[in-house]
A and B are shown apart, each in its own frame.
Chain A
Amino acid sequence: RKEVEQDPGPFNVPEGATVAFNCTYSNSASQSFFWYRQDCRKEPKLLMSVYSSGNEDGRFTAQLNRASQYISLLIRDSKLSDSATYLCVVPGRRANYGQNFVFGPGTRLSVLP
């Protein structure tokens, strides 16, 4: 099983729609999870951290399910400006020598007018 996998996408949704992305991970010891957003030809930027109890930031909600080893991102009332690639990020397996982040392949979202 790969360290992190995401919905392959792309997701094409109309403005105002609700869309959900899923991400599964294999390292059961993972503690810190993030969702990043990457616009075309730009660097990834943090969208939100994912906490054990789940968290919400405006139209965005992140959930963590440790038992099933997946995290999700829900976007409500999609805007044209939400069009981007969304990257799931989990810690890697190099626990004995520090850590590194493992980025998922990303799920591309296009919000259509």
Chain B
Amino acid sequence: NAGVTQTPKFRILKIGQSMTLQCAQDMNHNYMYWYRQDPGMGLKLIYYSVGAGITDKGEVPNGYNVSRSTTEDFPLRLELAAPSQTSVYFCASSSKDRGQNTEAFFGQGTRLTVV
């Protein structure tokens, strides 16, 4: 089972460049999330989605955009990369069971460095 797949695993960007972090899940989960984790720090929610066509901002959305055209895919777009966006990015997905949150499954992360 693939679970949550993120690509690329590593990337170095120059300031001002753009890129898209890909995330796909094969568990038919409605809920998907993007987090960033800076060194030695906790996870911060960037954006999340409750289903295809529906997204919402998290705690730190500035500088990012998302889309959710299908249940499976939830790409994260960086338009003008800045050094402050150097971080590890995790995509996750989850579902509901009888109205209760089920666990979140994470991808392996994308390590992004902006120079």
Contact = CB atoms under 8 A, between A and B. Distances in A.
Contact of B42 (A32, A49, A94, A106): A106
B50 A103 contact: no
A102 B43 CA distance: 9
Contact of B100 (A32, A87, A105, A106): A32
A46 B102 CA distance: 11
Most buried by B among A42, A49, A101, A105: A101
Contacts, number: 59
B56 interface: yes
Interface of A: 31-32, 34, 41-46, 49, 87, 89, 91-92, 94, 97-106
B87 interface: no
Interface string B16-56: 00000000000000010101000001110100101000101
Range of interface residues on chain B? 20 to 34
A4 to B, nearest CB: 9
Interface of B: 31, 33, 35, 41-43, 45, 48, 50, 54, 56, 58, 88, 90, 92, 94, 99-109
- Please classify the interface of chain A as helix (H, G, I), strand (E, B), loop, or mixed, using the class held by over half of its residues: loop
A105 B42 CA distance: 5
Given A43-B107, A101-B45, 18 more contacts: A31-B101, A41-B88, A42-B109, A43-B109, A44-B106, A45-B106, A49-B103, A87-B42, A92-B45, A94-B56, A98-B31, A98-B50, A98-B54, A98-B56, A101-B92, A101-B104, A104-B42, A105-B41
